[in-house]
Structure 1
């Protein structure tokens, strides 16, 4: 299982859903009780039909020995389609990888989720990618494959927008995109798409990257437009915020309007990737406990996040001696 997980991502989100039956099929009516992961679906290869070449496998000098961005080599014995690389195994045989662009790849991943008891995934859509035709085409195809696989294997699925790199004004792009997805995939017809995750009686959409103080070009104004727009379209909203969102310090901008935005949402999900290890966790345990109390008081559900860990060695170079340990 461990060597298979590198297709999946970098974090797991545990919620504290309720499933019903719809014509003999599971229907995900709440995030409560589910364990879900983020699904980036961003790996491409030459020859996979996307026209994107090596994407997210490649390092600074392409995807070849000495240059890559992945930590682990995928276990590929169960994929129908594979793509040869310039890498070789110790016995001299060529090493191959998968492409997220292939429907069969996504199908294998959702089958594994069912086999290993993972309830489902948040399908990530990066604003910096879907603003471009090639990125939009890729992530639409991955999402199409995932929606079918989710219902085939009765796994929960939910759209998650990553705002990283978003420019002011592109909040309109997001709202247009989700409206098109809702129509294309029947997000508001739960009987027709029972695997789509609902929360508080409405289809859930996640917006990640609100309130960080790392000089992003968009801010709380754009985030408010997105939240209000999603609510007006009939969605419930989960908001991805920085670690110290409640205290408005550390990795969080100090503007108290962030709390107003969180209160508008249905779920809050703080970002804990790389924030602590076994030694420093006690400090964060108290923080989490107080965060949960704030959420309860303000009638917002709270979702804890854990992270399996990785090194930045291949992605940022051997001299970048940074390792994020498992959490």
Structure 2
């Protein structure tokens, strides 16, 4: 279909016996929306999520593969080898499609995990997107795997399943290549895969594919990122393929770039960045929203001047203890009950950005997952030392961050007012009851001039962090008291070593 042309359709509905009838209003509306690709700039005023779909399980039926991918290190499905810091809420998954691990829950039951090789898993994830008002996702394909036959097969199946589910539920998707090699074969590897997707999987014929400026949206992550090994010349050739190559392969290109892309671009890369249709720097305001919001505004101003769209990245928090094998990285960026994510999203919307990228939908590996997660330690496998949703002192339902995502979408599309305050009210638990922190307690809650700390405390530096993720006080804990007299009224996190507890200052 020509994305610049309107088409008329005649739809005939038949029942199982061949009798004709009138299409329902719902069917007519869906058909009208879907059979006119490219008539809208579909990326605008939407928060799109990154979707890796990279979790696979032993016994899930993959061709020439029978291992645990992204769930465990070394293929051993136990608490010692767990790969991620968070655990999904598994109650809504097909229970026949949960694959047994060597871990157990506190009640003695064996813990199982899902595989993205099963359609039922993909269907559930996309169903949640629809239910919580998420416009769509960038489905990632990793170039380190696409030239291996068995990896290509599982990636293709995941993509076909995702495409089917998106068409079923009315959710949008687009393809993003995550460049992992940057060698002299990368151009050929990526362009051949795109041709395969267009010609063999017919992704651009899907009514669920996302279009912008009359072209299908395509993402390429890793441009100018030092660890990816790309040269600017290689990148320029690839962008030329998508902009000026054979017409059926042309796209609107969203480039994933380092945060310094504008202020200190790597040598030779400025021209490459300026040739993109959209710039998406990696989490510009994540580490310190108040400090880096001015950089983000300057990025947007530059992009407006150059006629480039700007797509800021936000994340709910982060925890990488298992991934980095470091206790210090456990819950290193507290979620603060959704306040931290909302602060980022608010700053994006405040500067009138039409775009937003949420990282990520399912990434429990780095603790950035937005989908349904385990709420309390009682629901976590024994011995895994993972981060439940109540880690920072809030009693939250498993779908809390999907609820926050709903409100973010409303804010960016303008259906609700711009506000710096999270419009949902998480319930405080006072003192965090996570078993991973042993007997550590902070009190009173609320605190006034002094915060008292008790329990087993290793020597170290404490930090007090506000709901925006900003360190407002730090120092050596000497007599188990912390002076909080100068803190403004509000909610804070006391963090020491790998432990984090929330308290209220009156």
What does residue 19 of structure 2 align with?
A: none
Are residues 1:262 and 2:270 paired?
A: no
SS in 2 for 1:245: coil
* Cα distance in 2 between the residues matched to 1:219 and 1:135: 26
What does residue 89 of structure 2 align with?
A: 75
Match of 2:137 among 121, 124, 131: 121
What does residue 46 of structure 2 align with?
A: 34
> Cα offset for 1:136?
1.0
Give the RMSD, CA atoms, in angstroms. Answer: 1.9
Considering Cα pairs closer than 8 Å and 6+ residues apart, tell me whether 1 or 2 has the greater RCO. 1
* Cα distance in 1 between the residues matched to 2:329 and 2:250: 46
SS in 2 for 1:47: coil
Within 5 Å, which residues of 2 pair with 1:90-169? 90-169=106-185
What does residue 296 of structure 2 align with?
A: 288
Determine if contact 1:89/1:95 at 8 Å carries over to the other structure.
yes
Are residues 1:234 and 2:250 paired?
A: yes
* Cα distance in 1 between the residues matched to 2:224 and 2:177: 15
* Cα distance in 2 between the residues matched to 1:318 and 1:267: 35
* Cα distance in 1 between the residues matched to 2:329 and 2:272: 37
* Cα distance in 1 between the residues matched to 2:159 and 2:173: 10
* Cα distance in 1 between the residues matched to 2:173 and 2:286: 28
SS in 1 for 2:292: helix
Are residues 1:59 and 2:70 paired?
A: no
> Cα offset for 1:72?
1.5
SS in 1 for 2:127: helix
> Cα offset for 1:259?
2.5
TM-score normalised by L of structure 1? 0.85
What does residue 306 of structure 1 align with?
A: 314
> Cα offset for 1:165?
2.8
Task: List structure 1 segments (4+ residues) > 6 angstroms apart after TM superposition.
Answer: none
Match of 1:195 among 186, 208, 212: 208
* Cα distance in 1 between the residues matched to 2:189 and 2:181: 13
Determine if contact 1:41/1:100 at 8 Å carries over to the other structure.
yes
The verdict on how the C-alpha distance between 1:259 and 1:52 changes in structure 2, with shifts beyond 3 A counting, is farther
> Cα offset for 1:272?
1.1
What does residue 178 of structure 1 align with?
A: 194
Larger Rg: 2
The verdict on how the C-alpha distance between 1:77 and 1:321 changes in structure 2, with shifts beyond 3 A counting, is closer
The verdict on how the C-alpha distance between 1:22 and 1:266 changes in structure 2, with shifts beyond 3 A counting, is farther
SS in 2 for 1:311: coil
TM-score normalised by L of structure 2? 0.56
Farther-moved stretch of structure 1 (221-230 vs 163-172): 163-172
Farther-moved stretch of structure 1 (149-158 vs 133-142): 133-142
> Cα offset for 1:196?
0.2
What does residue 463 of structure 2 align with?
A: none
What does residue 223 of structure 1 align with?
A: 235
Are residues 1:317 and 2:314 paired?
A: no
What does residue 218 of structure 2 align with?
A: 205
The verdict on how the C-alpha distance between 1:122 and 1:52 changes in structure 2, with shifts beyond 3 A counting, is farther
* Cα distance in 2 between the residues matched to 1:73 and 1:132: 29
Determine if contact 1:22/1:194 at 8 Å carries over to the other structure.
no
- Structure 2: stretches of 5+ with no match in the other structure: 1-28, 336-340, 342-506
SS in 2 for 1:130: coil
**Matched residue pairs, number?**
295
- Structure 1: stretches of 5+ with no match in the other structure: 1-20
Determine if contact 2:85/2:319 at 8 Å carries over to the other structure.
yes
Residues 198-224 of structure 1: per-residue CA shift (max 9 Å, x gap): 11101111000011234x322212211
Residues 93-139 of structure 1: per-residue CA shift (max 9 Å, x gap): 11111001111110110000001111111010011111212211111
Determine if contact 2:68/2:77 at 8 Å carries over to the other structure.
yes
SS in 1 for 2:49: strand
Determine if contact 1:168/1:217 at 8 Å carries over to the other structure.
no
* Cα distance in 2 between the residues matched to 1:93 and 1:52: 24
Farther-moved stretch of structure 1 (227-236 vs 153-162): 227-236
